[in-house]
Chain A
Amino acid sequence: MMTSAKTAAPTISVDGVGRNFTVSGQTLVAIEKIDLDIQQNEFVSIVGTSGCGKSTLLNMIGGLDEPTSGEIRIEGKPVDGPGRDRGFVFQTYSLFEWMTVEKNIRFALEKSSFARAEKDELVAHFIQAVGLSGFEKAYPKQLSGGMKQRVAIARALVYKPSILLMDEPFGALDAQTRGMMQELLLKIWEDHKVTVVFITHDVDEAIFLADRVIVLASRPGRIKKDMRIELDRPRSYEVLTDPKFAAYKREVLTDIREETLKALSAGQG
């Protein structure tokens, strides 16, 4: 059983963060006020209806967007733009099509101070870790969706960030591939010990992967529920039929349904 009740400073600290957007002169509150502490090596899933601001929150943690109010700190230091302590995996594969698998991953190491031999080793290690041995010289065009996303994961981890931010990374994959990718991700997470923030709208996926599931309420986005998932690790697909899993799922689904109905009645669905 994972316990995250550590006394050390949280790895990610979201402190009273709000985010407004101005759309044709009108102020739209995307995120009202979110407080969230994420501990080292924790796997946190964030779920919510579309438009609840979950991607906005992730972008702000990643330094790709700035809060309107409040502050986000990584290891105690305020976030000021993207940094190499964080890796990012996007929903679109976002690979550099003109580079081979190997070069895509190596590109991420260009700004690292590792020695050349170390870089070679890291690239080789992560290609192997995501199960792409033999595809080093392939171009993204030649790969399936799942394989492309594996390259993206390797690229986000190769420079050894302590945090991995994932924005619906398996959203575009078919159900079977998605299942395989989830298990692969858990294995990588267990082997490499990084802190993961994982955005998804798939409730099964959120629970299956995470130590903690955060449910966001929408318009404006805020935390509706922060739920600890007490399922044994390492997990395999069998956990999906565990009664405890079903109980978690019911709880999350109820929350999301409530939010969806609210959004619908407000004419935002």
Chain B
Amino acid sequence: MSTAQSHKPGRKKSRSLFQLRQDIPDRVFFAAGFVIPVVLLLMWWLVTSLGLVKPLFLPGPLSVVGEGWRQLTEGILFEDASVSVYRIVVGWAVATVVAVPVGILMGNYRIVEGLFEPLISTARYMPVVALIPLSILWAGIGDGQKILILFLGTFFQQTLMIMDNVKNIDINLIRAGQTLGFTNNEILRRIILPAALPGIWDTFRITIGWTWTYLVVAELVAANSGLGRRIMDAQRYLSTDTILFGTLFIGLLGLLTDYLFKRAGKSLFKWSSQTR
């Protein structure tokens, strides 16, 4: 720890913000995160209020906020959000329910890895957008199709990540279990699983973030509600403020999900030495 560094008075303090790999006060770190967004916001406001760009291309911040307010008060926002959240939760949950056991088995048994790895590694590079026609053919145009797209966008990567989470645990934990007389099955459930869980939770956090980014793709076709759908519709009427608000709002919900997972992980895995 750098106690010697941080107790030096006055003048040195400002310079110490730019020490290689040195810690800085939490407040400064926190505040730093707002600097660039605020600058961007100011530039946005300046450029639009000076009339340097047409509102068609970039409406001002206030009109985007106004659009948000309109959607909120008319109840559209809540309706869109609840439909989208439902799709995301189901799509991600189905992917997770399959990915967790498959990933865990792949991480522990070379034979299972041999069986699935080539297929999954290939499948994960298939562009999800290109699968839309097939998904409609197979799953129709209802919610099932949207959920299928979200599943396809999440599942393959998630399985491989969970396999890695499992592989990353210390082999000596498994050996310790063997020397203590536990069976393979017990070691799997009582040692490997809890040891890998903090890593797996992190994978959950990252993959649910991806699901948010796939939302627009999922609602691209044959949807009549949802946050992604709203954006696609707005394109047709060139209502740029709706597009901007929708995009920012999805980003915000993604951020919120990420934060919730991070917080939950921190309190679930207090014991973990890798909790960040």
Chain A residues at the B interface, C-beta cutoff of 8 Å: 62-64, 81-84, 86-88, 90-92, 94, 96-98, 107-108, 110-111, 139-141, 155-156, 159
Contact = CB atoms under 8 A, between A and B. Distances in A.
Given A64-B175, A86-B179, A141-B272, 4 more contacts: A92-B172, A111-B180, A111-B182, A159-B180
Contacts, number: 60
Nearest to A88: B179
B195 interface: yes
Interface residues of B, number: 18
16 contacts: A63-B179, A81-B178, A83-B181, A88-B176, A90-B176, A94-B175, A96-B194, A97-B272, A98-B194, A108-B180, A110-B182, A111-B181, A139-B270, A140-B271, A141-B271, A141-B273
B273 A140 contact: yes
Interface string B242-273: 00000000000000000000000000011111
Contact of A97 (B172, B175, B176, B273): B273
Contacts of B170: 92, 94
Contact of A94 (B176, B181, B269): B176
B179 A98 contact: no
- Majority DSSP secondary structure for residues of A touching B: loop
A139 B179 contact: no
B72 interface: no
Nearest to B174: A94
B41 interface: no
A163 to B, nearest CB: 11
B181 A87 contact: no
A62 B177 CA distance: 12
A64 B178 contact: yes
Contact of B173 (A64, A84, A96): A96
A64 B173 CA distance: 13
A104 to B, nearest CB: 10
Nearest to B176: A94
Interface in B195-226: 195
Contacts of B136: none
B234 interface: no
Contacts of A82: 178-179, 181
Contacts of A94: 170, 172-173, 175-176
Given A87-B179, A90-B176, A111-B180, A96 B195 contact: yes
Given A90-B172, A92-B170, A92-B172, A97 B271 contact: yes
Nearest to B182: A111
B179 A96 contact: no
B169 to A, nearest CB: 10
A158 to B, nearest CB: 10
Nearest to B173: A94
Contacts of B194: 96, 98
B191 interface: yes
Contacts of A84: 180-181
B275 to A, nearest CB: 9
A58 B242 CA distance: 68
Interface string B185-196: 000000100110
A98 B271 contact: yes
Contacts of A96: 173, 191, 194-195
A128 B239 CA distance: 73
B272 A62 contact: no
A62 B182 CA distance: 14
Contacts of B269: 98
A141 B266 CA distance: 14
B168 to A, nearest CB: 13
Which A-B residue pairs are the 7 nearest by beta carbons? Answer: A111-B181, A94-B172, A90-B172, A88-B179, A139-B271, A82-B179, A141-B273
A203 to B, nearest CB: 25
A222 to B, nearest CB: 25
B54 to A, nearest CB: 57
Q: Which of A81, A84, A91, A94 has the most chain B CB atoms inside 10 A of its CB?
A: A94
Q: Which of A83, A87, A88, A140 has the most chain B CB atoms inside 10 A of its CB?
A: A88
A88 B191 contact: no
A94 B272 CA distance: 13
Nearest to A142: B271
A19 to B, nearest CB: 17
Contacts of B173: 94, 96
Contacts of B172: 90-92, 94
A129 B271 CA distance: 25
A120 B20 CA distance: 50
B179 A97 contact: no
Contacts of B180: 84, 107-108, 110-111, 155, 159
